[in-house]
Amino acid sequence: MPPPDDAEGVIILPRRTSFWAMTTLVVGLAGQLLWVGSYAARIDARLEDLAASDLRQTKRDDERYGLVLGRLESLERDRDRLVRLEEQVRIATDLLREIRQEIRPPPRR
């Protein structure tokens, strides 16, 4: 009988291979597959945790950025208001000087 072709799907084992040796090999390979699967699941879980943490951090940073922008706009409004107040104070000071000079009697000689 000629040896079977690979395309037939027949697995050829040596005649002296014992059942227990093959069982040990299969169980060892299955154990490795289970270990790799659990390790990959742990890595996936850790990546999901990191993604969730990154999302929380991004949201927190966006909130802080919005607060900073609001504070900056408030400071710009305050600066504009201070410029107007300085102008009003200068005008009031000039008016008070004019009034003071009008009230003072002319110097006597």
For residues 5-17, give the mean pLDDT.
66
Q: With bands split at pLDDT 50, 70 and 90, how would you rate the model's confidence at 6?
A: low
Domain boundaries, the chain: 20-101
pLDDT at 20: 84
* pLDDT tens-digit series, residues 91-101: 999 999 999 98
* pLDDT tens-digit series, residues 12-61: 766 677 888 888 999 999 999 999 999 999 999 999 999 999 999 999 99
What are 27's two structure tokens? 């169980």
